[in-house]
Amino acid sequence: MNALPLWAEILTAVLAVAGAAFAAIGSFGLVRLPSFYNRIHAPTLGATAGAWCVMLATVVYFSVQGTHLFLHAVLIALFVALTAPVTTIFLMRAALFRDRQKGLDLPHATHAAVESPPVPTRAAE
């Protein structure tokens, strides 16, 4: 087994710890935030950012250790980056449907009721 250069070991360690930190922050957000609509964002963002950091650590480690660029982990990160937001959207829609059926108060839309500004027109000459 070849020894890695110091810069590669440091970069790999920093990326792996950053990935774990993102995942932990997302987990804490899941526990600490007050409602489902607030809680749904923290693990999604934490999982995506954490997966990207771990993927970059894997690419650095195995690319420096071997003789070629190791990009297999990119497929896993792309899969997580594509599926996490889609899953979040489906969970949010299911929760909104459930809450509408029960007649509960729903979170206010911040952009749905905003009207577009009037379009200026040229005055008749």
If you average pLDDT over residues 49-77, what whole number do you get?
A: 87
User: Is there a domain that residue 90 lies in?
Assistant: yes
For residues 64-89, give the mean pLDDT: 84
Tell me, yes or no, whether 46 lies in a domain.
yes
pLDDT score for 79:
87
Give the amino acid at 7: W
Q: Which domain holds residue 52?
A: 6-102
Which of 82, 92, 77, 86 lies closest to 36 in space, CA to CA?
92
Domain membership of residue 41 (yes or no) is yes
Cβ-based neighbours of 19, under 8 Å, separated by 6 or more: 49, 50, 51, 52, 53, 54, 57
63 located within any domain: yes
Q: What's the mean pLDDT in 110-125?
A: 54
Q: What is the pLDDT of residue 114?
A: 47
Q: Which of 62, 85, 87 is nearest to 73 (CA)?
A: 62
Q: In the chain, how many domains are there?
A: 1
In-domain check, residue 52: yes
> Is pTM, for the whole model, over 0.85?
no
Give the model's pLDDT for residue 57.
94
**Residue 113, SS3 per DSSP:** coil
Q: Do the beta carbons of residue 47 and residue 79 sit within 8 Å?
A: no
Q: Please check whether residue 22 lies inside any domain of the structure.
A: yes
The least confident of 15-19, 69-73, 106-110 is: 106-110
CB atoms within 10 A of CB 59: 19
Q: Residue 35 — pLDDT band, cuts 50, 70, 90?
A: confident
